[in-house]
A and B are shown apart, each in its own frame.
Chain A
Amino acid sequence: MKQSTSSFSIVGSSKAKTLTERIAARIFLVCGVFAILAVVLITAYMIIQGAPALGQVGIGEILLGTVWKPTAADPSFGILYIILTSIIGTALALVIGVPIGLFTAIFLSEVAPKRLVKIVKPIIELLAGIPSVVYGLVGLLVLNPLMYKLEMAVFKGSTTHQWTGGANLLCAVLVLAIMILPTVINISQSALEAVPRDYRMTSLALGATKIQTIFHVTLPAAKSGIATAVVLGVGRAIGEAMAITMVAGNSVNLPLPFNSVRFLTTAMVSEMSYSSGLHRKVLFTIGLVLFAFIMVINLVLSRIMKKGAQDADK
């Protein structure tokens, strides 16, 4: 032990020290440049691949068209329903996932006994580590049949409804809601735990109940952290492809709960392999649209974080 401490001694020749410093700095620089290079290359690639189709087909025709028939003799490339599906699907997943996630976070940080937290917390972290294909499989084997039963009950006797066999928007939303839970829970919990203990003590001392304290003091104090959690949840949901390609049905339809729908991600994944020519270019355009969504989400996120930091400074 003593020997090893001496080898890490800060007392040494200054020459060797500056050399180490320099090499380390270089290595960090190369790593940093690598990440930036990747972002720049991907952005450039997406624009080069995706933009030409916008000109060839027409921006309005692609973004506002509702008919997706890429291989027809007279092809049409409208992705409005696909964009709407991604927006509405993500929004519904948040409506279900955020309250559950937030309340779980409140439970873990404010209410639950320490010993229980020690059991629950690793389980939630495990949820984050499960590959998305597993979520998809469970959705396919468990949720789909349940949804089909629900569909049969809701549309009993209908002759106009297109039967989806359970592979519909509702199923995809439920899978997404479960998938964003770990993100929402972990980040909200950290935000809640960062709220100074004095706030709670003061509130309780003034006569507020525990629940009043949580909703009127702790939650407002942690709101920027919770907003971050929600935005990251949006990012996770909108970028997910594998799980929902297995449960959403993948037909281009208006995003109603019992319709088979196609998301931006699944639109690319499902048709990329055999596509060619303009069809393939439009698939890259879909990627570009998704890319734009993610950029907006990241901008919102950085703004929230900045604001949160300012609030904390006050």
Chain B
Amino acid sequence: MRKKILAAVMAGMMLFSLAACGSSDEETTKAPETTKATEAAEDDTTEATEATEGDSTEAAGDLSGSISLSGSTSMEVVVTALQEAFMDANPDVTVNAEYVGSGAGIEAVTAKSVDIGNASRALTDEEKSAGVVENVIAIDGIAIVTDPANEASNLTKDQLIDIYTGEITNWSAVGGADMPIVVIGREAGSGTRGAFEEILEIEDMCAYSSELDSTGGVMARVAATPGAIGYVSLDVVDDTVKPLQLDGMDATEENIKAGTYILSRPFVMATNGEISAQSELVQAWFDFIGSEEGQQIITDAGLILPN
């Protein structure tokens, strides 16, 4: 009997040690999945609406046909979320979205080959004079943060560019203490990195010392490293880090809406002619975006609502 108990205990221990060995591997494979989970957060909200919308589909679902969108890759997350929620509410409508870049999107809508052209920048006067109307559905804002003890409080746009391209390597050059600058950013492919580099026009010129794969990672590393600088979505900034002013302006929703804070960009869904002149379907799409549910999707994607 005693031998049996011993054997059982030994077997249990072996299982435990095997599980312990295995855990490290699981951890590594889980990492990309968790980042995907945050992306899927919007999917969850749309799924939730699917449940509530289920009964009302007959009332709302009298629309049918298809809407085509084309343009900015940065808008993919929010467009996908809107697309899924809209198609759940209107089961007979198909929304096709292509992500080919802002310029190509505006060209396509100008040529009337798509209904809506997505652009993650303001339209140029030239584009507007071709009859394309700029409908800003959301604003993307980025905050520049440092560790809380940093003495510097304000950077100019040029100083920020010089820091991220490796021209300036010490805080003393920008009004801070004599301390090296640790340049922290996101991995290639991240929307925040894309927006940051696009607005400052330093695409693929940045010299990062750390490339982290999540917003939380950037916040944690910046908070813990003296002399660190990083960029994150405006909505996640908290007390653990110190947001910097840019050109003397605080990173606030008000300043972004007023257009005085430079690290922001509008998400435009351009139409050829006013929305009221569009098809019933396209009008329904914009009505949906303006509805409470549509606005919720936009804020859930970490974006600011335009007035």
Assess the A128–B211 pair: CB atoms within 8 A: no
A163 partner residues in chain B, CB cutoff 8 A? 169, 180-183, 209, 227
B54, CB-defined interface residue at 8 Å? no
Produce 1/0 per residue, A138-177, CB < 8 A to B. 0011001100100010000001011111110000000000
Question: For the complex, what is the distance from the CA of A245 to the CA of B35, rounded to whole Å?
Answer: 14
B87 at the interface (CB under 8 A from A): no
| Measured CA separation A273–B187 after assembly (Å) | 10
Q: Specify which of B190, B213, B226 lies most central, judged by the most chain A CB atoms within 10 Å of its CB.
A: B213
CB proximity to B under 8 Å, residues A230-249: 239-242, 245, 249
Number of B residues near A (Cβ < 8 Å) is 44
Number of A interface residues in the complex (CB < 8 A): 49
Given A152-B180, A270-B187, answer yes or no on A240-B24 (Cβ-Cβ < 8 Å): yes
A112 at the interface (CB under 8 A from B): no
A203 contacts the other chain (CB 8 A): no
Residues of B within 8 A of A148 (CB): 225-226
Residues of A with C-beta under 8 A to B148:
none
Give the docked Cα–Cα distance between A2 and B189 (Å).
69
Residues of B within 8 A of A141 (CB): 224
Nearest 8 interchain pairs by C-beta: A129-B20, A165-B182, A274-B189, A163-B180, A165-B225, A273-B35, A241-B28, A132-B24
Q: Is A104 an interface residue (CB 8 A)?
A: no
Of A133, A145, A279, the most chain B CB neighbours within 10 A belong to: A133
**Contacts A159-B170, A164-B182, A167-B209 known; 4 new A-B pairs at CB < 8 A:** A71-B204, A148-B225, A162-B183, A260-B208
A249-B184 Cα distance, complex, nearest whole Å: 9
Say whether A257 faces chain B, with CB atoms less than 8 Å apart: no
- Is B210 within 8 A of A251, CB to CB? yes
Interchain CA distance A255-B228 in the complex, whole Å: 22
Interface residues of A (CB under 8 A from B): 1, 68-73, 125, 128-133, 140-141, 144-145, 148, 152, 159, 161-167, 239-242, 245, 249-251, 260, 262, 265, 268-276, 279
B221 at interface by CB-CB < 8 Å: yes
Using an 8 Å CB-CB cutoff, how does the interface string of B8-29 with A read, 1 for contact, 0 for none?
A: 0000000011001101110110
B31 close to A260 (CB less than 8 A): no
Once the chains are docked, how many angstroms separate the CA of A269 from the CA of B181?
26
Report the tally of A-B residue pairs with Cβ distances under 8 A: 130
- Give the complex CA separation of A274 and B25 in angstroms: 22
What residues on B are CB-neighbors of A239 within 8 Å?
Answer: 25
Q: What residues of chain B lie closer than 8 Å to A162, measured between beta carbons?
A: 166, 169, 183, 207, 209
Tell me, rounded to whole Å, the shortest Cβ–Cβ distance linking A190 to chain B: 15
Residue of B nearest to A136 (CB): B27
Q: A162-B207, A167-B221 are in contact. Are A71 and B228 (CB under 8 A)?
A: no
Give bound CA distance, A70 to B189, whole Å: 8
Contact with A along B187-211 (1 / 0, CB 8 A): 1111100100000000110011111
Contacts of B36 in A (CB 8 A): 273
B69 to chain A, nearest CB (A): 17
Residues on B with beta carbons closer than 8 Å to the beta carbon of A240:
24, 28
- Bound-complex Cα distance A162 to B184 (A): 11
A132–chain B nearest beta-carbon distance, Å:
4
Residues of the A chain whose Cβ atoms lie less than 8 Å from the Cβ of B208: 251, 260
Residues of B within 8 A of A (CB): 1, 16-17, 20-21, 23-25, 27-28, 31-32, 35-36, 39, 166, 169-170, 180-184, 187-191, 194, 203-204, 207-213, 221, 224-228
Known: A162-B207, A163-B182, A260-B210. A269 touches B221 (CB 8 A): no
Most buried by B among A131, A167, A262, A276: A167
**Which residue in chain A gives the minimum CB-CB distance to B101?**
A73
List chain A residues, Cβ under 8 A from B23: 131-132
Taken together as a complex, chains A and B put the C-alpha atoms of A167 and B226 apart, in Å, by: 12
Of the candidates B16, B27, B194, B211, the one whose C-beta lies within 8 Å of that of A270 is: B211
Q: Are B191 and A167 in contact (CB under 8 A)?
A: no
The distance in angstroms between the C-alpha atoms of A172 and B307, with both chains bound, is: 48
Contact residue among A1, A71, A241, A245 (Cβ-Cβ distance under 8 Å from B188)? A71
Q: How far is the CA of A153 from the CA of B224 in the complex (A)?
A: 19
The one of B27, B32, B194 in contact with A273, judged by C-beta atoms closer than 8 angstroms, is B32
Beta-carbon contact of A129 and B17 below 8 Å: yes
Chain B residue numbers with a CB within 8 Å of A130 are 20
Q: Which chain A residues border B228 with CB–CB below 8 Å?
A: 165
Contact present for B28 and A269 (CB under 8 Å): yes
Docked-complex contact B209 and A260, CB < 8 angstroms: yes
Q: Are B203 and A271 in contact (CB under 8 A)?
A: no
Give complex CA distance A163, B17 in Å.
40
A241 touching B31 by the CB < 8 A rule? yes
- Pick 5 A–B contacts, CB within 8 A, sort by A: A159-B169, A159-B170, A251-B208, A271-B213, A274-B190
Give A275's nearest chain B residue, CB to CB: B189
Q: Which residues of A contact B16 (CB under 8 A)?
A: 129
What residue of chain B has the Cβ atom nearest to residue A168's Cβ?
B209
Do the beta carbons of A131 and B24 come within 8 Å of each other?
Answer: yes
Which of A69, A125, A268 is close to B17, meaning CB atoms less than 8 Å apart?
A125
Residues of A within 8 A of B27 (CB): 131-133, 242
Write out the residue numbers on chain B whose beta carbons fall within 8 Å of the beta carbon of A125: 17
B299 to chain A, nearest CB (A): 21
Given the known inter-chain contacts A241-B31, A269-B28, please indicate yes or no for A274 contacting B182, CB distance below 8 A: no
Name which residue of chain B comes closest to A71, CB basis.
B188
